[in-house]
Structure 1
Amino acid sequence: MRTQQILCPTDFSETASHAISYAIEMANFYNVGICLLHVVDKPFGDKYTRVLAVTPDELIERMEREAADKMQQFIDSFDIYFPFESKICHGHPVEKILATEKNINAGMIVMASHGRTGLEHFLNANTAEEVANKAKCPVLIVK
């Protein structure tokens, strides 16, 4: 951990922003970098109509462009300067987070939890929990 980059998956939510503050603090302490990762989930249709009006490749390209814009706005929203490496990919979030962990040889993953409980937790896949169970490095889940 002390010499390896911190992987910080983000969905651009307020909770993800909170998790990144923890990642920045740890990165400063250990003098390591941070890799911000956003995974564009598999497209299933236009965000307004949910009808696929363009080819899947065009939709993925548009979603990745929008994600890149959001990523830059997200990085710009921090009060302090910190050099982030950023990655955007598409696919299943857990698979892509774990693949990125392996590819960059992450020393730690810091990510947000959506804090679901009860029936909502049972019915919705919990990305943070699955990453924590399958990751090879330590995982800090921030609420």
Structure 2
Amino acid sequence: MVPRRIICCTDFSYNSEPARELAVDYAKAFGARLTLVHVIDSSLFPTYVDWLGDEIDQILARTKEAAETKLQEIANKCGDLSDIKTCCEIGSPAEKIVGVANDEAADLIVVGTHGHTGVKHLVMGSIARSVLRTAHRPVLIVEASPLG
């Protein structure tokens, strides 16, 4: 299988850089379209706080705008890649990543992991693990270096 549509997930951390670099290399090698995806985890925002009203929506909108800007900056640094797009979503990271992959008919999902073990792995590796478990397409999990 030669991937023609690649999804690469980023959380903007140092740990997601190896995954992005590999996804860019694959996209160049195979002439594939690359979609960079960032998901703002809605569970981190207190939806139960009624007294904030529309302020939560405004915070989410500003956060999404900043994330879209950051995604575009990353896309601009991808060199001579001719077919690249960005996508920023709000919601459950694993669900949204798989949803974008389905919408884009992706041939490959590339996601980074922090490479932790034990208790840290339960938290840090949960998104990559959930994507691997729920995506009905190939998933490449790229471990960050121990220095990351």
Is 1:28 aligned with 2:28? yes
| 2:129 aligned residue | 129
1:48 aligns with none
Per-residue displacement from partner, 1:28-57 (whole Å, max 9, x unpaired)?
A: 222111000111111526xxxxx9585222
Q: How does 1:56-71 map to 2 (within 5 A)?
A: 56-71=56-71
Whether the aligned pair in 1 keeps the contact of 2:7 and 2:109 (CA below 8 Å) is yes
Counterpart in the other structure of 1:81: 80
TM-score, normalising length: structure 1: 0.84
RMSD: 2.2
Q: Which runs of 5+ in 2 are unaligned?
A: 144-148
Distance 1:129 1:123, change over 3 A: closer
What is the match of residue 5 of structure 1? 5
**SS state of the match for residue 71, structure 2?**
helix
Judge conservation of contact 1:6–1:109 (CA < 8 Å) in 2: yes
Matched residues in 2 for 1:69 and 1:3: separation? 27
Aligned-partner SS, 1:87: strand
2:14 alignment counterpart = 14
Superimposed CA distance per residue, residues 94-139 of structure 1 (whole angstroms, 9 cap, x where no aligned partner): 1100111110100000110011211222355610011111111111
Contact 2:39 2:89 in 1 (8 A): yes
Separation of aligned partners in 1, 2:125 and 2:108: 22
8 Å contact 1:19–1:142 — kept in the other structure? Answer: yes
Greater CA drift, 68-77 or 83-92: 68-77
Partners of 2:122 and 2:16 in 1: CA distance? 22
Question: Aligned partners of 1:13, 1:123: CA distance in 2, in Å?
Answer: 15
Which residue pairs with 2:146 in the alignment?
A: none
Q: Distance in 2 between matches of 1:16 and 1:124?
A: 12
Q: Which amino acid aligns with 1:24?
A: V
Q: TM-score, normalised by structure 2?
A: 0.81
For this pair of structures, how many residues does the alignment match? 137
Counterpart mapping for 1:107-122 below 5 A: 107-122=107-122
Three-state SS of the structure 1 residue aligned to 2:141 is strand
What does residue 93 of structure 2 align with? 93
Find the residue that maps to 2:45 and give its secondary structure: coil
In 2, Cα distance between equivalents of 1:125 and 1:15 = 12
